[in-house]
Amino acid sequence: MTPRHVAVLLRKDLQLLGPAVCATLAAAVALLIVMNRFKPAPPSVVVPFVLNLNMLVATMWSDWSISREKLKGTTAWIRTLPVDDGTVVAGKFIGQALASVALWTLTSVAALNGASMVGGPAAWFVAALSLSCFGAVCVSARLVFGQRIGGRSEEHTSELQSPYVI
């Protein structure tokens, strides 16, 4: 795994998912700005709301990024490249972490409106790290388990994807 390969995979993800991720970021920030404008709430109420919003979006992005790859056929194309599975997975994890931290940064700045978060900068950093880890778990689950894992019967459990097959 080389940093250059990971950067190329991140660039590919940015080209494929970038416009939609930017639209989601803009919509989340606009929602929080409008919310603060009409009904300001104390940070003890806003911070949990922003954390929940970020967790939902991280779940959505992880599922969506893998599904979109499979739908567009880029997964099959990536499998033909001379990169190992670890590089592909690292690219997905790093992309998810960057998107999660960007969303957390923008939404927490927009929502808190200059007020300090309970716990200070350390709590803010721990929340950003937690969101990145949660996104990584969601990406892992989506890579390991197929789209219809919940609908399979006992006789089809041997068809589960290997964690090394993307």
Condensed to tens digits (0 to 9), the pLDDT of residues 10-60 reads 787 777 777 888 888 888 888 888 887 887 777 677 778 888 888 888 888
Confidence of residue 156 (pLDDT cuts 50, 70, 90): very low
pLDDT over threshold 60, residue 108? yes
CA dist 159 and 152 (Å) reads: 9
Q: Between 96 and 154, where is the model more confident?
A: 96
**Is the model more confident about 162 or about 110?**
110
CA gap 67, 142 in Å, rounded: 9
With 60 as the cut, is the pLDDT of residue 75 above it? yes
Asked if residue 65 lies in contact with residue 96, where contact means CB atoms within 8 angstroms, the answer is: yes
Q: Residue 40, class by beta-carbon neighbours within 10 Å (0-12 exposed, 13-18 middle, 19+ buried)?
A: exposed
CA trace torsion 75, 62, 141, 162 (10° rounding): 10
pLDDT digits (tens, 9 = 90+) for 117-153: 666 778 888 888 998 899 888 888 887 776 665 444 4
Inter-residue contact 91 to 9 (CB < 8 Å): yes
